Amino acid sequence: MVLLGVFGTFAFLGATGVYLSAITLLNYARSPNNFTTPFSLWMFLAHTVVGVLGTLPFLFFGVAHWLSARLRPNRIAVRLGVLLFLSGLAVCASGFALIQIEGLPRLRPDSVSRAVAYWLHILLPITAVWMYVAHRRAGPKIQWRLARVWGLGVGVFTLVMVGMHSRDPQKWYREGPKEGAKYFEPSMTRTADGKFIDADVLMMDDYCAKCHADAANDHFHSAHKFSSFNNPAYLFSVRETRKVGMEKVGSVKSSRWCAGCHDPVPFLSGAFDDPNFDDVNHKTAHAGITCTSCHAMTHVNGTFGNGAYTLEEPAHYPFARSTNTGLQWLNNQLVKAKPDFHKQTFLKPFHKTAEFCATCHKVSLPVELNHYKEFLRGQNHYDSFLLSGVSGHGVRSFYYPPKAKENCAACHMPLQASSDFGAKDFDGSGTAKIHNHRFPGSNTGLFTLLKDDPRYRQHAEGFQKTIDMHADYLRGVAPDGSDKKLRIDIFGLKPDADLGTDGLIAPLRPEMPKLVPGKSYIVEVVVRTLGVGHHFSQGTVDSNEIWVDFRAASGGVEIARNGATANPDDTGPVDPWSHFINVHMLDRDGNRINRRNPQDIFTPLYDKQIPPGGAAVLHYRLDVPATVAGPVEITTRLRYRKFDYEYMQLVHGGNVPPKLPIVEICEDRIILPVEGNDVPVASQSSPVKPAWQRWNDYGIGCLLEGGGKRGHFRQAETAFAKLLTLSEKDAVWNGHLNLARVYIEEGRLDEAARQLDAAGKCDPPAPPWSRTWFTALVNSETATRKEHLDAVIADLERLLDPNTQPRDRGFDFTKDYVIWNRLANQLFKRRQFEPVGSDARQGFVLRTVTAAERVLQLDAEDVTAHDLLAQCYAELTEVKMPDLVIAEATADELLAAASIIADKNQQGSHEHRAMYLAAAIPKLKGPKLPVERELIGKLRPVFHSTPNQELKSLVAASLAVLHRESHAIYKPDEIARSNSTRIYREKHPPANYAARERVIYPTTPGHRDSIVKTGNLP
């Protein structure tokens, strides 16, 4: 009976093992598709349970059989029997090793030891079968008929199941159905089946913590966990957004725009739409962004943000949601024994990309929210990162890292040692690590509010750890300064309070000029981004309080100050005359956006963010008193307080808010001697290394100051020219290259060309990609013949050639859509040199279309690309359009017509539908942008694939209209901006003054009074 049990167990394990191996092979062969199903998981469970239960009978029979047969005369049979028994033991041992039973030594999922155990478990049973056959030759004849029946049954079963599995892979990487959009718009979030997901499925963080304790603990103490109604700042703001929605349209649907990223659990489970939703006590109100919210995403719907992802209810292993302790334990062992499907379910390739983060860290404000315009730009970390030198995709950066950062996680999810089940040796250090799920950044304010909340008092220590981590991240902690995010440099001094270049004394240290009592100066201060991969600060730039604190003192007496807090203990509002590194955002009535009220966002008064690898030059007025008694110490500090003081006052009902941490990101100080004073001043040196970067950074700041064409070009030219006189090699090519930038901005193109030529002859030369780009810019502006444009096009195409990318540094400029835009523009210009109606002209138009459509793949909201495509498709419309009178068109009608045209299985002529679309699109009512984006997606493939020239031409007409409409939607409204800013500037002298092209910051009460009265410093 025991032997029959062993045979039965082996037959079952063999059958299920063959089936499971076939599914594994199918998954490998058809990757990234996955064909595992709940049936597969149940089969795996059965295989595991039967294997565990069958071990004892196998051991009993093996030992008993050895005891009874060990002395038999057929020694070959005995030896083979022993080897067979040992093989069986090895199969059992490898199986138990794969199960990963808690309390026993574990094999990490990606370790060599686990791979060895896995392949032993696969191959040893085959060896055991051979040994069994050899062993039985000495005994009774084997009943091969039973073996053949078993083999045939297993083979047929496996083939049938593989065939069935092949027809139904996991539906990952697919955007959710359009039919479900009505539950989620204006958010761009979708679910895989278009329906709601049970809230309990989305709130399984405790389940995740069983295997990922460190990651789960970090996540609990992160801003992601407190993104929803459990965030007091967000709670205040979203309540207003919902209230405004009810007042304007009688529903809270506009606030769905917030929910796709901030409140995924109540949103995707259907609770969020209830206008009476209890945002304090409802079980989903405090869920935040759960583990499942991110890890159950199956598709990134695009790079337009606003929650553009698809999420599905994840396929769990058996008993994942069971409340029975034993069954939960069994589930945990199953996951550890066969983690591949679990890993593929919850960690997909796109999770490791910047595009995944862009789903929520790129924002636009739809008309349903702002009731003004179809599209207003919000925060945008993604494009800022994509076009930077840090990512290795931007070709115009002033500085490049030795190696590009391939994604956001490279900075914001640093590795840390862990014993979590998913930990592995990512960096070759020999230590198992995970990615930090606290997401270090800058949000010290949120956790200060939370740690004082009675509901979270037991987590105060963990929140303080997060506060310290964010502060350390901003400041940098590496002894060599390699992880510093920004630096500030007291660079120079201009006598007579003049912003011109004459008389600039720089760089201070080694220059140590003596200040003249009674004289006025301009102190030139440079702030430079170092380890920041996007504009500083991006994100909630209207409520981030980042400013420079400038102070000058002599003999302990303060003689100049700009940037002080209202109170000595660093509480209260900041001096409103400070230089703030933020976006000063206004509503349409000329009021500041001061409470994170996105529904009112209208236009920025100014944007003083600093780009990655960029710099800003700040000018401070310093009046040296005639009675100054000793040397003057000048101190500058870059400070960061999350959140803005005014916002916190509103959040706390007008009361004095709690004291929030102020992080000293960086500082600089210098002591200058005073003429006629005998107090000695020690020699000082600047901490900025290498020293040539001080001139370079100053030039960059002058070039960028005031924005684009209004920069301080003369000062920038002087600074960059200074680099040519320095002995450091890198200084010289930077000087030539950056002088070329200045000359291009000023239209001095011949001089720019000479500088670019010189930059290429330096030792070392300027980066080839930079020279190629700026050379193409110069030549595109001076081109007068088609040969000139052909050369420009060749340069741009060389920059975009996948085979010429500097991969050794992780750079890939094929993602720089500014290059693609320039290429499209030059191709469109080039068509003008070919006869109208010629194939050559059409060829250049089609090449323009290809380049511009590549832009939209990278940034679907690019204004320039839509404008070019509208012109191209209009030129490709070769039939005369009939005058159709259409009063109004609905989204359903337009999409239905486009779907029929796009369906290759639809028979008959589609020309009349294409004519209808071209005439009806401008008559579309309601929010146009989502519909027009979908229409472009349907019609573009038709244009490129149909052999029907008449249909192609008519589809081109529709696409021309769609891109013209899109261009109008995305184009900023410059006219409407002027009235709002005028109203605000009249009411707020400090902001009015800061919005000037060139600002000399006041440092005394007299300075401020003079500006209020006269508009200028005395």
CA 323 to chain centre: 37
Write out pLDDT tens, residues 7-53: 667 777 777 878 788 878 888 887 777 778 788 888 888 888 888 88
The answer to whether 607 touches 583, Cβ cutoff 8 Å, is yes
- Per-residue 3-state assignment (H helix, E strand, C coil) for 981-998: HHHHHHHCHHHHHHCCCC
Dist CA 465 CA 469 (whole Å): 6
Determine the number of helices (DSSP H) and then strands (DSSP E) in the chain.
37, 18
Six-digit token string for 581? 């590194």
Domain boundaries, the chain: 2-166, 178-245+255-439, 486-677, 691-782
The answer to whether 599 touches 241, Cβ cutoff 8 Å, is yes
CA atoms within 13 A on the CB side of 34: 20
Using left for φ > 0, alpha for ψ between -120 and 50, and beta otherwise, residue 862 falls in: beta
The answer to whether 736 touches 724, Cβ cutoff 8 Å, is yes
Dihedral sign for Cα 799, 355, 848, 746, please.
negative
Dihedral sign for Cα 187, 191, 196, 197, please.
negative
Residue 29 to residues 24, 110, 860, 1001, Cα–Cα distance (Å): 9, 19, 34, 65
Q: What is the pLDDT of residue 107?
A: 77
3-class secondary-structure state, position 953: helix
- β-partners of residue 668 are 636
User: Looking at the domain 691-782, which fold is it?
Assistant: 1.25.40
Buried b (16+ CB within 10 A) or exposed e, 471-482: bebbbbeeeeee
The answer to whether 721 touches 696, Cβ cutoff 8 Å, is no
Helices 817-830 & 863-875 angle (0-180, nearest 10): 30
Dist CA 594 CA 586 (whole Å): 9
Q: What is the pLDDT of residue 819?
A: 99
Dist CA 831 CA 835 (whole Å): 8
Q: What is the pLDDT of residue 784?
A: 94
Dihedral sign for Cα 894, 898, 901, 905, please.
negative
CA 732 to chain centre: 35
Residue where the block lists tokens 């030896």: 79
Buried b (16+ CB within 10 A) or exposed e, 745-774: bbebbebbbebbebbbebeebbbebbbbbb
Cβ atoms < 10 Å from Cβ of 73: 7
Six-digit token string for 907? 């028979």
Q: What is the pLDDT of residue 402?
A: 97
Q: Mind giving me the DSSP string for 849-866?
A: HHHHHHHHHH-TT-HHHH
Sequence length of the chain is: 1018
- Which amino acid, one-letter code, is at 440? P
Dist CA 832 CA 474 (whole Å): 52
- Which amino acid, one-letter code, is at 152? L
3-class secondary-structure state, position 623: strand
Six-digit token string for 511? 């220059």
Residue where the block lists tokens 């996951």: 335
Output the CA angle 572-574-578, nearest 5 degrees: 175
Residues 6+ apart with CB under 8 A from 596: 233, 234, 236, 237, 540, 542, 543, 647
Residue where the block lists tokens 């956001």: 408
Q: What is the pLDDT of residue 117?
A: 85
The answer to whether 848 touches 789, Cβ cutoff 8 Å, is no
In 534-601, which residue ranges form alpha helices assigned H by DSSP? none
Residues 6+ apart with CB under 8 A from 728: 690, 691, 692
The answer to whether 741 touches 700, Cβ cutoff 8 Å, is no
Q: What share of the chain is helix, strand, coil (3-state, %, to 5)?
A: 50, 10, 35
The answer to whether 680 touches 638, Cβ cutoff 8 Å, is no
Residue where the block lists tokens 């030198």: 389
Long-range contact pairs involving 654-657 (C-beta distance under 8 Å, separation at least 24): 656/571
Cβ atoms < 10 Å from Cβ of 864: 19
List of the chain residues with pLDDT < 70: 1-8, 65, 71-76, 101-104, 132, 134-174, 176-179, 498-501, 706-711, 907-908
Cβ atoms < 10 Å from Cβ of 629: 13
- Which amino acid, one-letter code, is at 399? Y
The answer to whether 492 touches 513, Cβ cutoff 8 Å, is no
Closest Cα partner for 254 from 196, 194, 184? Answer: 184
Dist CA 694 CA 714 (whole Å): 17
Q: What is the pLDDT of residue 16?
A: 81
Q: What is the DSSP letter of 655?
A: S
Six-digit token string for 476? 């940098």
Q: What is the DSSP letter of 271?
A: -
Q: Mind giving me the DSSP string for 352-401?
A: GSHHHHHHHHEEEEEHHHHSS-SEEEEEEHHHHHHTSTTTT--SS-S---
The answer to whether 291 touches 316, Cβ cutoff 8 Å, is no
Residue 410: Cβ-neighbour burial (10 angstroms; 0-12, 13-18, 19+)? middle
- With the CA atoms of 95, 98, 100 and 101 taken in that order, what torsion angle do they form, in degrees rounded to the nearest 10? -10
Dist CA 755 CA 778 (whole Å): 11
Backbone angles phi, psi at 535, to 5 degrees: -55, 140
- Cis peptide preceding 186, ω within 30 of 0: yes
Q: What is the DSSP letter of 598?
A: G
CATH number for the region 486-677 comes to: 2.60.40.10
